[in-house]
């Protein structure tokens, strides 16, 4: 039974994706990518779209078109003005907006307690994993000589991908981009210890631990080292 519900959902998403595809030049929204990109939003809107902060609206189960329009309105900085949301929406591409809107619109609980997005992720899993593995292999090949040998702790690169990339790959909210030597050089000058402290405790637009409550201090430290090594 549950399987049928999911397949029905997949069919529905596919159908609505096809309509959407026309405005995106032929590509359907990618819910998994939407979730990744939305990591920067979780601090306030939560992963499930149910905000616990007063004044921060719930995004769960909102119409996809509504969410897209809201994000475009924040991005242009005129139609909808809110300092936080204008800054958060500014770096988003049309693809990002479509993916994030698809992700949050699917945050409605189904009979088995899973959200629509979780069901879609299972369906989509094969492709994103293939890409992630290819990327990870390429990066590992580049950085193998300096690799740290910590046991039972996620590598700096793994933590970066899970918790830091949302902002540090795109420069969201003004984050210095991975590999951007000019942006990192004055920061590197502060020394590793200070950078680690800033990453752990938060620093201006940089949330404490990048908002990753499940990251240990050691993991955040290795993610900082990863960012530093890649940005020298």
Distance CA 71, CA 31 (A): 16
**Closer CB to ligand HEC, 6 or 209, in the complex:** 209
**Contact of 120 with 9, CB cutoff 8 Å:** yes
**Contact of 154 with 219, CB cutoff 8 Å:** yes
Tokens of 43: 């601090």
Q: Give me the least distance between CB of 4 and ligand HEC, in Å please.
A: 31
Q: Residues 6 or more apart from 216 whose CB is under 8 A from it?
A: 153
Cα end-to-end distance, the chain, whole Å: 54
Please identify which residue in 40, 98, 119, 120 interacts with ligand HEC, judged by CB under 6 A: 40
Query: For residue 110, what are the CA distances in angstroms to 42, 66, 174, 217?
Result: 21, 21, 37, 36
Q: Is 130 in the site for ligand HEC (CB under 6 A)?
A: no
Number of residues that make up the chain: 232
Q: Is 198 in the site for ligand HEC (CB under 6 A)?
A: yes
Q: Give me the least distance between CB of 186 and ligand HEC, in Å please.
A: 8
Contact map string, positions 10 to 29, toward ligand HEC, x by CB under 6 A: --------------------
Q: Is 43 in the site for ligand HEC (CB under 6 A)?
A: yes
Q: Give me the least distance between CB of 219 and ligand HEC, in Å please.
A: 8
Contact map string, positions 55 to 74, toward ligand HEC, x by CB under 6 A: xxx-x-------x--xx---
Q: Stretches 25-33, 115-123, 141-149, 211-219: which one binds ligand HEC (CB under 6 A)?
A: 211-219
**Contact of 174 with 87, CB cutoff 8 Å:** yes
Rounded to an integer, what is the distance from CA 125 to the centroid of its chain?
Answer: 16
* Binding interface with ligand HEC (CB under 6 A): 38, 40-41, 43-45, 55-57, 59, 67, 70-71, 80, 82, 84-85, 88, 100, 159, 163-164, 166-168, 172-176, 187, 190, 195, 198-199, 203-207, 209-212, 215, 220, 223-224, 227
């Amino acid at each position: 039974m549950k399987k049928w519900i999911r397949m029905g959902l997949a069919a529905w998403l596919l159908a609505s994706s096809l309509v959407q595809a026309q405005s995106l030049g032929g590509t359907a929204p990618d819910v998994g990518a939407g979730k990744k990109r939305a990591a920067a939003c979780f601090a306030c809107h939560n992963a499930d779209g149910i905000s616990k902060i007063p004044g921060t609206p719930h995004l769960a189960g909102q119409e996809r078109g509504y969410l897209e329009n809201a994000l475009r309105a924040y991005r242009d900085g005129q139609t909808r003005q809110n300092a936080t949301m204008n800054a958060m929406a500014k770096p988003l591409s049309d693809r990002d907006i479509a993916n994030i809107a698809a992700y949050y619109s699917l945050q409605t609980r189904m009979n088995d307690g899973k959200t629509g997005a979780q069901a879609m992720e299972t369906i989509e899993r094969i492709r994103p994993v293939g890409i992630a593995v290819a990327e990870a292999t390429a990066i590992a090949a580049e950085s193998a000589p300096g690799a740290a040998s910590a046991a039972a702790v996620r590598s700096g690169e793994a933590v970066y991908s899970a918790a830091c990339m949302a902002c540090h790959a795109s420069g969201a909210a003004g984050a210095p981009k991975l590999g951007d030597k000019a942006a990192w050089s004055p920061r590197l000058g502060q020394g590793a210890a200070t950078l680690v402290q800033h990453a752990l405790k938060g620093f201006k637009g940089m949330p404490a631990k990048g908002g990753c409550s499940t990251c240990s201090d050691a993991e955040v430290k290795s993610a900082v080292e990863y960012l530093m090594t890649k940005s020298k």
